[in-house]
Chains A and B, each alone.
Chain A
Amino acid sequence: MPGLKSIVTLPDFSLSPRIDQVGVEERASRFTKRSIKKESKMNGLKLVLNMIDLTTLEGKDTDGKVKQLCYKAMHPHDALPGVPTVAAVCVYPSMVKVAKKALGDSGIKVASVSTAFPSGQAPKDVKIRDTKFAVSEGADEIDMVISRGKFHAGEYNFVFDEIAAIKEACGDARLKVILETGELGTFDKVRRASDIAMHAGADFIKTSTGKIQPAATMPVTLVMLEAIRDFYYKTGKMIGMKPAGGISKSKLALHYLVMVKEVLGEDWLSNEWFRFGASSLANDVLMQMVKEKTGSYQAANYFSVD
């Protein structure tokens, strides 16, 4: 069968590389030892701010809350000139229209979670409709969750097909696939889920919903970054990365940037390929920027509440 050779064959996901847990944790802790000061710190902080997906995913979200968040996205801290905007605002599908209108032509993207976020426990057609609704409302990016239950049951084909179907439903919107690493349990499974998501068409892979602890950690992000690297070497296709949940301090965010740079290289150091899913991180970054500028440590009550 000579014709078959040209067809890209999918790997057997049960053979995804096994991860050395001790090694990964050790390696991840090394990234925290770099000293980033003064000007490079300031540039790093700006980059971090520009990579944030400012997020509100609460049952109690209102139009007003989303509008306020959008204002914050466009005007993080007007008292400090030269501050970049964040990358995107991340909301539920029902809030996409409000966010889209509030952001206008600011260039800030609207990301919407979908596929019965955060549990993902809904039939496939509901998930597809959920996604199509968000896209039709104007979402530029879709954050979907994988079916962790099916994944644990070993039904990798089911997970794969679901991601592929959602990718199709996304149209032009970029697709971020949330693995919910806190529910996967081991690094081996994180790596396997990453491989499945990337082969199924993910534009981004994302650690967590933010609703489950532990959310993003440096070791788990490292495992995913290495999966992205291996995928890139194999296919030549760049995949983005989004750690989400639990990153609330600038120092930690800078450590993540160091990790991205040393694992994937500078091509990934833009909000096209790397994002932070966070809400309180933005204020901490702003506080550090003002500290760099004025020399005095800042207090939270001088920054917007969100």
Chain B
Amino acid sequence: MEKTSIKKSSLSISENGLEKKKLSGRLEVLKTYKIYIGGQFPRTESGRYYIPTNAAGKKLANVCLSSRKDFRDAVVAARGAVSGWSGRAAFNRSQILYRMAEMLEGRKAQFIDELMQQDASKAKAEKEVNLAIDRLIYYAGWCDKFQQLFSSVNPVASSHFNFSVPEPMGVVAIIAPQNDSLLGLVSVIAPVIAGGNTCVVLASETKPLCSVTFAEVLNSSDLPGAVVNILTGKPSELASWFVDHMDVNATIYCENNSEVQKMMREKSAQNLKRIFFYDKVKWETGEGQSPYFIMDCQEIKTTWHPIENIASAGGGY
């Protein structure tokens, strides 16, 4: 009886793709991959989970299969964080994104290990993690600069000072790329939060390990809870809720599934939320980063500010 139970546990360890060692009487402590809502790591309220496997058929982990109610809770949390996050000084947001990059750098080895479990070669995994760190630095730099680039002072014929500035939309719901499970995730989150939005992200269904570990990075990098909320689960189940929710201001979808895209276009008309399909972006190249990604989730506000007509009043400088 005892013999079989030992055999079983040694089997499950090798199945998880971790170090295969002879049992020295100690069972490896495996991580529970939980979701990230409001700065907390709850399990899904549904109690469901799924087991993604890699190409070799090895089971990766028990991962939360999030439900629409998890999404609802995440949106409530994200909405609550909008005013605080968008109200931060742009420079402070920049510092926090930089801090995220620092924390990611410090946990490089873990991410490389997880990417390799999910079929990447060592060289490719290292490249992806490095790119993800660099991408955070890239958007950290943009946090307090894109506003100047994209705002304008407009010529008007009346005695008004007229200017247009970008402002964050609010809550952005994102279905992250399936394949570049870390780089893609970082590339869609960073521009959204750099611009002062908060977001709810559904991580890659088949390669979810990095997303949960990335949530731990966020949790330890001064980013206020609920600015980024990360769910794991099936896009096929949740996509319609992402566009259905009246309290979501924009949705980003990264797969080239025309049926889902059509459904999203139709449903998003309900509250005129913006939808963006990043289905042809090559995240590992230069086209994967641009201030225009920030601008996607900004809206332009124009202000007419009355000014005294000094010249006609006979005054002057």
Residues of B within 8 A of A233 (CB): none
Cross-chain contact B244 with A298 (CB below 8 angstroms): no
Q: In the bound complex, how far is the Cα of B245 from the Cα of A295, in angstroms?
A: 9
Residues of A within 8 A of B270 (CB): 296
Cross-chain contact A300 with B247 (CB below 8 angstroms): yes
Cross-chain contact A295 with B244 (CB below 8 angstroms): yes
Give the total number of A-B pairs whose CB atoms are below 8 A apart: 23
Residues of A within 8 A of B75 (CB): 297
Give chain B interface residues in 42-60, CB to chain A under 8 Å: none
- A299 interface residue, CB < 8 Å from B? yes
Residues of A within 8 A of B265 (CB): none
Residues of A within 8 A of B72 (CB): 297
Residues of B within 8 A of A295 (CB): 244
Residues of A within 8 A of B244 (CB): 295-297
- B32 interface residue, CB < 8 Å from A? no
For B246, the closest partner residue in chain A by CB is A299
**Interface footprint category on B:** 10 to 19
- B271 interface residue, CB < 8 Å from A? yes
- Minimal beta-carbon separation of B44 from chain A (angstroms): 17
Convert A285-296 into 0s and 1s, putting 1 for each residue whose CB lies closer than 8 angstroms to a CB of B. 000000000011
Convert B264-279 into 0s and 1s, putting 1 for each residue whose CB lies closer than 8 angstroms to a CB of A. 0000001100000000
Residues of A within 8 A of B79 (CB): 299-300
Convert B238-262 into 0s and 1s, putting 1 for each residue whose CB lies closer than 8 angstroms to a CB of A. 0001001111000000000000000
Q: In the bound complex, how far is the Cα of B246 from the Cα of A299, in angstroms?
A: 5
Q: In the bound complex, how far is the Cα of B241 from the Cα of A300, in angstroms?
A: 17
Residues of B within 8 A of A296 (CB): 244-246, 270
Residues of B within 8 A of A297 (CB): 72, 75, 241, 244-247
Residues of B within 8 A of A300 (CB): 79, 247
Q: In the bound complex, how far is the Cα of B72 from the Cα of A299, in angstroms?
A: 11
- Minimal beta-carbon separation of A36 from chain B (angstroms): 15
- Minimal beta-carbon separation of B273 from chain A (angstroms): 10
Q: In the bound complex, how far is the Cα of B271 from the Cα of A302, in angstroms?
A: 10
Q: In the bound complex, how far is the Cα of B18 from the Cα of A37, in angstroms?
A: 44
Q: In the bound complex, how far is the Cα of B247 from the Cα of A297, in angstroms?
A: 7
Residues of B within 8 A of A299 (CB): 79, 245-247, 271
- Minimal beta-carbon separation of B264 from chain A (angstroms): 13
Q: In the bound complex, how far is the Cα of B79 from the Cα of A95, in angstroms?
A: 35
Q: In the bound complex, how far is the Cα of B173 from the Cα of A248, in angstroms?
A: 26
Q: In the bound complex, how far is the Cα of B244 from the Cα of A296, in angstroms?
A: 6
For B245, the closest partner residue in chain A by CB is A297
Q: In the bound complex, how far is the Cα of B241 from the Cα of A224, in angstroms?
A: 41
For A291, the closest partner residue in chain B by CB is B246
For A287, the closest partner residue in chain B by CB is B246
- Minimal beta-carbon separation of A33 from chain B (angstroms): 14
Among the interface residues B241, B245, B246, B271, which one has the most CB atoms of the partner chain A within 10 A? Answer: B246
For A302, the closest partner residue in chain B by CB is B246
Residues of B within 8 A of A298 (CB): 246-247
Q: In the bound complex, how far is the Cα of B246 from the Cα of A300, in angstroms?
A: 9
Q: In the bound complex, how far is the Cα of B247 from the Cα of A298, in angstroms?
A: 6
- Minimal beta-carbon separation of A294 from chain B (angstroms): 9
Q: In the bound complex, how far is the Cα of B1 from the Cα of A199, in angstroms?
A: 69
For B76, the closest partner residue in chain A by CB is A297
- Minimal beta-carbon separation of B90 from chain A (angstroms): 25
- Minimal beta-carbon separation of A273 from chain B (angstroms): 32
Residues of A within 8 A of B245 (CB): 296-297, 299
Convert A269-306 into 0s and 1s, putting 1 for each residue whose CB lies closer than 8 angstroms to a CB of B. 00000000000000000000000000111111010000
What are 23 A-B pairs at a CB distance below 8 A?
A295-B244, A296-B244, A296-B245, A296-B246, A296-B270, A297-B72, A297-B75, A297-B241, A297-B244, A297-B245, A297-B246, A297-B247, A298-B246, A298-B247, A299-B79, A299-B245, A299-B246, A299-B247, A299-B271, A300-B79, A300-B247, A302-B246, A302-B271
Closest 7 pairs between A and B when the two form their complex, measured CB to CB: A299-B247, A299-B246, A296-B244, A297-B245, A298-B246, A297-B72, A296-B246
